[in-house]
Amino acid sequence: MKNLYLTLILILLATNLAYAQDEDAEGCKDHPLFNRMPNYHIMECQLREFDTHNFTIENSTEETAKKETVEGKYYYYSFHLNENVQEMSDVQIFRNFDNALKKINAKIVGKVVVSGNSYSFICAKIEKGGQETWVRIEVSSPEYYLTIVEREAMKQYIQANEMLDALNKDGYIALDILFDTGKSTIKTESQPIIDEIFSLLNTNKELKVSIEGHTDNVGSPESNKKLSDDRAKSVMSALISKGISKDRLSAVGWGQEKPVADNRTEEGKAKNRRVEIVKK
């Protein structure tokens, strides 16, 4: 009889464990744009008020494929198949999202769907009510992943006095200055950061800084080093044009040599693409 009770207890524990595995991760819920595929639960989700993501805008899985960097409210979801249910094919999941996107008049900007190819993806742009939302769907059965960015301008929180505090404390500050993809042209939305650097230098006449560019590991080390150097010089030129003496500034590009995060993830790559202001 004791063995029977023990068996029943083990069965109940196994059942409860399986049920727990099918529950959404704490605090996670679907994005308003999409319901989920049947018999899937959210294993992981991330929400950041502001971040960037590179969305592929051509039908290619190559690292050199053209991309558009979109910044704004960032969502990430990892969906996993529930226990003991029929697995769906990757093509079936992609087809469902493809149809859903078409119904809301989304523009498919990049797409590669090949059965069994873990690099397959769909990227789309949705424009509605003055809001621009970008979506990336990836499938690796029995899992699929959603990355969504609601485009919006960054709120400028770092002020010149805070930059000075960071420089005095740490000797440097990392800034998320955005550039056109693969170029050294500073994006308009990053102008407030340039203005704050100017304010910092303009009110601290003795301060000299090195402007140092960094990239992720996409592309060759040589091209990344040149790109980061060009971007650092672009920031320096912007400050000189506003009246800061060239003698107080220097610029250097380190390319992918000094990562601060894991280049195997998009989040890590975003952190590695940065400009640092280093106190001399």
Is the predicted pLDDT of residue 5 greater than 60, yes or no? no
Average pLDDT over residues 43-65: 91
Residue carrying structure tokens 């592929």? 56
The answer on 190 and 81 residing in a single domain is no
176 Cβ contact list (under 8 Å, min separation 6): 52, 154, 190, 193, 274
The answer on 143 and 13 residing in a single domain is yes
Give the separation between CA 197 and CA 167, rounded to whole angstroms: 12
Domain count, the chain: 2
71 Cβ contact list (under 8 Å, min separation 6): 50, 51, 52, 149, 151, 152, 153, 154, 178, 189
- Please give the pLDDT value at position 157: 60
* Higher-pLDDT residue of 8, 82: 82
Q: Are 184 and 273 in contact (CB under 8 A)?
A: no
The answer on 165 and 43 residing in a single domain is no
The answer on 235 and 254 residing in a single domain is yes
Give the separation between CA 15 and CA 274, rounded to whole angstroms: 48
Q: Which domain holds residue 180?
A: 160-279
Give the separation between CA 91 and CA 99, rounded to whole angstroms: 12
- Please give the pLDDT value at position 154: 63
Give, to the nearest 10 degrees, the angle between helix 221-241 and helix 191-203: 60
The answer on 220 and 100 residing in a single domain is no
pLDDT tier at 161 (50, 70, 90 boundaries)?
confident
The answer on 122 and 242 residing in a single domain is no
The answer on 165 and 145 residing in a single domain is no
The answer on 181 and 236 residing in a single domain is yes
The answer on 140 and 171 residing in a single domain is no
- Beta-strand relationship, 143-151 and 67-81: antiparallel
**pLDDT (tens digit per residue) in 229-269:** 999 999 999 999 999 999 999 999 999 999 999 998 888 88
**pLDDT (tens digit per residue) in 84-126:** 999 889 999 999 999 999 999 999 999 999 887 778 999 999 9
Give strand pairing partners of 69.
54
**pLDDT (tens digit per residue) in 59-80:** 999 988 999 989 889 999 999 9
The answer on 55 and 137 residing in a single domain is yes
The answer on 189 and 141 residing in a single domain is no
The answer on 79 and 19 residing in a single domain is yes
Give the separation between CA 120 and CA 59, rounded to whole angstroms: 10
**pLDDT (tens digit per residue) in 172-191:** 999 989 888 788 999 888 88
- Which H/E stretch holds residue 143? strand 143-151
